[in-house]
Amino acid sequence: MKINYESYLKYLPGIFLIFCSFVVLKVKAPINRVLKKIFLKDRKISKAERLILELSSILNYILSVFFLHFGLLQFNLSPIWKNAVNIGAYTLYIGFATLAVLKIIDIFIEFLSERTKKTVPVSEIPLVETYFSMISKIVKIFVVFVSSIILLDKLGFNVTSLITSLGVGSLAVGLAAQDTIKNFISGILLVTDRQFRIGDRVYIKDIDVDGYVYDIGLRTTRIITISGNNLIIVPNSKLTEGVIENALYPDMKFKDSVKIGVEYGSDIELVKKLLLEAITTTDGVLKEPPPSVFFIDFGDSALIFQAFYYVKKKDIAYGVKSKINEKINKLFAENGINIPFPCQTNYFPEGVKIKIDKE
């Protein structure tokens, strides 16, 4: 029996290309290790080097798909299977190309952000991060949209009629997704109006949330709470319509106070001196603006004083106040200043008759 080797030899190019596809995938990890070893000679990977690492992995996948695609086409496939292979390959090409563009955008936006940070005051750096974070998200959405149009065109859809249909149906979509659109517009307004930045500590009065801004998205804002370190997701429209207290912008300084009562008859000037001493000798209290003490009221059982001072930021306010209270308690004890218990004196103009029954 004579074997016809020529019928098998025609499949060798296809088998070889498929084999190359798997080889390319296998060498991805060693190539990345070699590149990292080269880049880490100065113990730091630059943005350009990080981009090369990201793109090298994507290029590996594209080459692998390329070899697999043309390897499969070397076989005598039916028109249906040939079309399916082409569609699958084009989808992967566009997907990996889109991923590469998104990586380039990430690096480029980060480069612009770092460059801009060097030209602005320190207090404006979080605002720069917020701006570029929003720009990055909008550009990425645009890139994904364009990629989707290109893919649909490759798949045989009439893109022109599709876009026209989307235009006609935009009113219905707008009505159905009005909350999403409202939140999207609110997200842009949050950034442009400078209400807060990523990293700011905010208190949202309407929903009683106090925490740090973790991220400002196109639809929602993520806040990490102070009390439980939990992630709260708030629709942007709630923030643009609500009342927000920002503890870090435009000025990080936080004004705090200590209110205390001393017994009647105490030396007022000595009390004010001791309160100032307790505050000015406590770490964390700012010298400018200087602390101040006021005798503000005659209480029911005490003379009421209130001292005002500034700390660097709200985060340390509780710790600083605790130290101040400890020093006040110590200084008052050393100088004979008493903090009275609440008491009440009753006067009877006509006196009080007491009747004692004798047994």
Of 107-116, 165-174, 197-206, 269-278, minimum mean pLDDT range: 165-174
State the pTM of this model: 0.57
Nearest 10 degrees: CA dihedral of 278, 282, 288, 294? -20
Mean pLDDT of 11-29: 85
- Higher per-residue confidence, 249 vs 162: 249
% pLDDT > 90, the chain: 18
Nearest to 272 by CA among 306, 316, 242, 238: 306
Mean pLDDT of 33-58: 78
SS3 for the chain is CCCCCHHHHCCHHHHHHHHHHHHHHHCHHHHHHHHHHHHHHHCCCCHHHHHHHHHHHHHHHHHHHHHHHHHHHCCCCCHHHHHHHHHHHHHHHHHHHHHHHHHHHHHHHHHHHHHHHCCCCHHHHHHHHHHHHHHHHHHHHHHHHHHHHHHHHHCCCCHHHHHHHHHHHHHHHHHHCHHHHHHHHHHHHHHHCCCCCCCCEEEECCCCEEEEEEEECCCEEEEEECCCCCEEEEEHHHHHHCCEEECCCCCCCEEEEEEEEECCCCCHHHHHHHHHHHHHCCCCECCCCCCEEEEEEECCCCEEEEEEEEECCHHHHHHHHHHHHHHHHHHHHHCCCCCCCCCCCCCCCCCCCCCCCCC
pLDDT of amino acid 276: 94
Mean pLDDT of 10-39: 84
Assess whether the previous peptide bond of 289 is cis (omega < 30° from 0): yes
CATH (residue range 180-246): 2.30.30.60
Residue 165 has pLDDT above 70, yes or no: no
Domain over 254-334 is classified CATH 3.30.70.100: yes
Residue 85 has pLDDT above 90, yes or no: no
- Higher per-residue confidence, 300 vs 40: 300
pLDDT of amino acid 267: 92
pLDDT tens profile 268-290: 999 999 999 999 999 999 998 89
Is residue 35 a contact partner of residue 52, using CB atoms and an 8 Å limit?
A: yes
| pLDDT band, residue 114 (cuts 50/70/90) | confident
pLDDT of amino acid 241: 80
pLDDT of amino acid 145: 86
Number of CB atoms found within 10 A of residue 305's CB:
21
| pLDDT band, residue 155 (cuts 50/70/90) | confident
Indicate the domain borders of the chain: 10-178, 180-246, 254-334
Highest mean pLDDT (candidates 42-56, 153-167, 194-208): 194-208
pLDDT of amino acid 174: 52
pLDDT of amino acid 323: 94
